[in-house]
Structure 1
Amino acid sequence: MSLETDSSDAQSIEYLYLEMDTPLPIPSDIAAPSILNPGPQPECPDLKKYTSPFAWAKSRKSMMTATACSVTALAGYAAGEMGPAAAELTEKWGISNVVYQLNITLFCIGFAAAPMVLAPFSEINGRRPIFIASGILFVASLVGCGGTGSFAGLLVARVFEGIASSTFSTMVGGVISDIYHADDRNTPMSLFAGSALFGTGLSPLISSIIQTRISWRWIYYSHAIAAGIFTVIIYLFFEETRGSVLLSRKARALNKYYEEREKTGYFGVIMSMDEKGESRIIKRIRWRVKSDEERDSLAMMISISVYRPFHMLLTEPVVFFFSLWAAFSWAILYLQFGSITLIFSTNHHFDTEETGAVFAAICVGAILGTVLSICQDILAFRFGTRVRTPETRLHFACVISTLMPAGLFWFGWTSYSSTPWIVPTLAVGCATIGILSIYLAVFNYLADTYHRYASSAIAAQSFCRNMLGGVFPLVTQIMFKNLGYPGASSLLGGIGAALTLVPWVLLFFGTRIRAKSKFASQLSKQLEH
């Protein structure tokens, strides 16, 4: 498809739309008649770096996935690293434990809000600059956390830490979508989700050792060193993955090449006039990219990025209930920062380091959940049931997600001091496997259902997930002390059990529900045509 701006003479420039698979015409070697002494032709730019990320070699994709999942683990690590230092810092700054938990609440607020503003920038400038800038801010905020002398300073630094680390969680899903087609996305997405939960569990485990043997400040300094190393790795090895940005850069490189050729006296490229290529003509062309022309202003993009997720949350039942399900599961994950510490320190008389070791159950659960989710995709492929509709993504979650409420009941009713400590610890791992399956199911289902609106749908659940996750640590001790350990866990387990109905409803009625959805039905009609 072409767009001509001036056809008054043979030397007018014709503007064509460039796609990733557009065959490039051969430049003409004939100099313009008016040029008596044409200069040497400039070299054609290396276009390999603009290759579609979908066509990258498997090794290249694996390296990018490994880097992305590593920084996701670092972001997850940031959530709970403050826990082991609670006793020392509450006494030092004269604050209550509930007030101290505000540092995770403000971290989650920054984590929830930042992606809605950062996403439009990634559409224009690509993901790599956002990753590098976030890495620098992440290191700076961690140093600020470790160096602060007041609780107010810690809160400010934690907000910026949440903003910076949000990139390493929310945008990693986008990176995976950039380089893998939907049918090949389950394994890298499983690794991504597993990394987030693994980092969350690893944080109290490592931080408790540092707190006990060195200093609370080195909890943040050691994290800053690791973050700094990965920021350097991102700068050196992380490549741009957003296809539209690569296509725009490719168009600019080609247009600059054509302009340099014309300065030396060589005009035009050889274009075919028919399908067989028997008739050819020399034309002066320039490339355009549709996504650049269709893109709104930055201010409009930011406003849409903020408005649309909440609009979908309130008008799309699928988005609302999946966001509620994901938010509750994430809140349970963050609630464990307080509940594990409370139960194991009071009923089993664990010290800080021993309590931190219990969080290894989250790491083990994340690993087992990741392996299970990868295996279910392999089995689905083997038996010919691999992704055909969004609902087929839910088979695994319908069963495995029940492990979250099961783990909560298990944890609460085995929390007595007479029960061996390993029993509730195993319950934590069980609940983690369920949380991982929920996270994966929500992300994959929303991506498959809403396509180009998927980022807004995922942003809605991400906002709810992190906001509720930030609130639960504030009420953990109050709830568990007032209701009792079994009672509080049973209440949460009951809510979790009720929410496990969400994937079952969509499994049986998802097609009808999507047909009534304004966004999903419009996209379905567009895909059919």
Structure 2
Amino acid sequence: MTSSLDRQKSSSNLSTLNGEDGSHVQPDLEKQATKHTTEEPTPAAPKFLETDLSRGIVGWDSQDDPQNPQNFAASKKWALLALISAFTFISPLASSMFSPAVVYMGAEFHETNETILAFSVSIFLIGYTIGPLLLAPLSEIYGRRVVLSGANWFFVVWQIGCALSKNIQTLIVCRLFAGMGGSACITLGAGVVADLFPTELRGRATSIWSMGPLIGPVAGPIAGGFLGEEVSWQWVFWVLLIASGAMQLGIEVLNKETYAPVLIRWKTAKLSKELDRTDLQSAYDIDREPLSNAQVLKRSLIRPALLLCKSPIVLLLSTYMALVYGLLYLFFTTISDVFTRTYGFTVGLSGLAYLGIGLGFFVGLMIIALTNDRIVKKLTAQNGGKFEPEMRLPTMIMFACILPISFFWYGWTADKHVFWIVPIIGMFPFGVGMMGVFMPIQTYIIDCYPAYAASANAALTATRSLVGAFLPLAGSPMFESLGLGWGNSLLGFLALAFVPIPIIFTKFGKQIRERWPVDLEDKRK
């Protein structure tokens, strides 16, 4: 009896809940936890401090518990983020790496339909639409690590199917499944950022994690063009298999679980067994309606759709991101053709034309990484020390204005056959603007829904991937009808029409968010 009581005293498992910024905040338990009981009628009866564990609640041992991912050493946090970011580069690389080599695949399979050939490339993004809606909720039930690991290996295996395909139908199916697996790192990265980093570091962390989804599609055509030209189109997938397999082996060895509710659930199960107690409950499940695994899964799966349908902020920002992402892939439909036909580049060299956008991505990344968190700290101080997620958005206004420049610059210089370096430089503003739009939106969504950051990011990813998959299919007919100059100008005017969105949300975002709140929690008892 004494041994059991001592164990209860030493395990002061203080319950921890998510604060407004997603960090794990220690509640004030002094008012409710310090109780002295005295047995009657003996006045000298022993006294003890009632702890959370004695009441059947399991949480972190303290605010400084080293098992809490928010308290991991800085080196460990950045190393975990780097692992996920590395695979987040490889997966989007696969989305566009095949693009320059598709002509060689078409010749081998005797496929001349341009729409089918384009669809064999963009089908990967349909996998990006389906995958996040399944994987994000699963990660909030079973944890980030197991879901990320399973999905990454799923992506790796389907590269073999792509490389060994004997017809275009098989290739399309294999690319669809590869896209579903490859979406995990893009989807769950937002959750890992919320798990590990406090508000004041999320801008920098999101900048690092966002490099892959934005730079990967640009680097892909450069490598894919030379591989298709010098070796064969199948080697695009063999290279992806080798790179992704090696990277996932490293992730398998070094990755750790970071989702706090799952870690506390594991701790609860362990203590229940060690202490032989059946009354222990996770601090994250207090006062919640007991649900079966099937009910939990059902409610988790509808969260991304719930956000899109009930939150005007998520819907409009998802739409804006989808438009910009679709414009990126419309760029991709013309670049290779323009530089091979108009400027006489080989297929391999035409991939180098993507460097204009790539350099813009890098510059935009540096600007956001160096300024976003500083601006948030300054605005928080001016707001009496109270942080608001909308403080992420003011920088978007400038970048949204920069983004449309490229369509007029690139479109008309390519249309008039100006020296080849000029249209390449013309793509630079788009890269800067796109990075400056994407990263504040992603960080803003993480700050708004830290406990369900993966599901919130799934809504963003699914929407933009759907548009990125189908919009480029209309690219060739549009440019054939309007020409490069007016076709790109139309896209530029469309991008200009969306410039007021960041202005509206910077000014009225808080009122909109508070007027239409979305309850993502499970029902209470």
TM-score, with length taken from structure 1: 0.82
Q: CA deviation at 1:239?
A: 0.8
2:487 corresponds in structure 1 to 488
Residue aligning to 1:328: 323
Unaligned 5+ residue runs, structure 2?
1-31, 34-52
Tell me, in whole angstroms, the C-alpha distance in 2 between the residues paired with 1:235 and 1:417: 52
Q: Which amino acid aligns with 1:19?
A: G
1:381 Cα offset (Å)? 6.2
Partner Cα distance (1:454, 1:232) in 2: 26
Alignment check: 8 A CA contact 1:450 1:519 kept: no
Q: C-alpha separation between the residues in 2 aligned to 1:480 and 1:298?
A: 51
Closer/same/farther in 2, CA of residues 378 and 107 from structure 1, 3 Å limit: closer
1:287 paired residue among 280, 295, 301? 280
Instruction: Provide the residue aligned with 1:441 in structure 2.
Output: 440
Q: Counterpart of 2:497?
A: 498
- Determine the C-alpha separation between the residues in 1 that align with 2:323 and 2:168: 28
Q: CA deviation at 1:126?
A: 1.2
| Aligned twin of 2:60 | 20
User: For this pair of structures, how many residues does the alignment match?
Assistant: 465
Give % identity. 26
| Structure 1 gap segments, 5+ residues each | 3-12, 25-46, 260-283, 524-529
Amino acid at match of 1:88: Y
Deviating above 4 A after TM superposition, structure 1's stretches of 4 or more consecutive aligned residues are 381-387, 450-456
Query: What secondary structure is seen at the aligned counterpart in 2 of 1:519?
Result: coil
CA distance in 1 between partners of 2:480 and 2:380 (Å) = 47
Alignment-derived partner of residue 402 in structure 2 = 403
1-side partners of 2:215 and 2:63: how far apart?
45
Residues 244 and 131 from structure 1, CA distance in 2 versus in 1: closer, same or farther, beyond 3 angstroms? same
Change in Cα spacing, 1:203 to 1:296, as seen in structure 2 (3 Å) is farther
Q: Return the alpha-carbon distance in structure 2 between the equivalents of residues 297 and 490 of structure 1.
A: 54
Aligned position for 1:114: 131
Q: Which residue of 2 aligns with 1:36?
A: none
Other structure's SS at 1:101 match:
helix
List per-residue Cα deviations over 1:371-412 (Å, max 9, x = no partner).
000121354267565782222111111111222211222211
Equivalent residue in structure 2 for 1:61, among 65, 71, 77: 77
- 2:269 is the counterpart of 1:252: yes
In 2, the alpha carbon distance for the partners of 1:296 and 1:405 equals 49
Aligned with residue 318 of structure 1, among 291, 313, 319: 313
Q: Quick one: which of 115, 139, 155 aligns to 2:172?
A: 155
Distance 1:410 1:301, change over 3 A: farther
Offset, 1:223: 0.8
Structure-2 change in CA distance of 1:120 and 1:518 (3 Å): closer
Distance 2:449 2:252 in 1: 32
Query: SS at the partner of 1:420?
Result: coil
Contact 1:195 1:366 in 2 (8 A): no
Measured after TM superposition, the shift of residue 14 of structure 1 is 5.6
Normalization by structure 2: what TM-score?
A: 0.83
Separation in structure 1 between the aligned mates of residue 511 and residue 95 of structure 2, nearest angstrom:
39
How far does residue 52 in structure 1 lie from its aligned partner after superposition?
0.6
Q: Aligned partners of 1:315, 1:132: CA distance in 2, in Å?
A: 31
C-alpha separation between the residues in 1 aligned to 2:447 and 2:426? 32
Equivalent residue for 1:227?
244
Alignment root-mean-square deviation, CA: 2.6
Distance in 2 of aligned mates of 1:396 and 1:255? 49
Give distance in 2, aligned partners of 1:205 and 1:23.
Answer: 48
Q: How does 1:97-246 map to 2 (within 5 A)?
A: 97-246=114-263
- Deviation, 1:452, is 4.3
Match of 2:92 among 65, 76, 90: 76
Match of 2:389 in 1: 390
Structure 1 contact 248–292 (Cα < 8 Å) conserved: no
Matches within 5 A, 1:370-385: 370-377=365-372, 379-380=374-375, 383=378
**Contact kept in structure 1, 2:257 and 2:263, CA below 8 Å:** yes
Output the CA distance in 2 between the equivalents of 1:345 and 1:299: 54
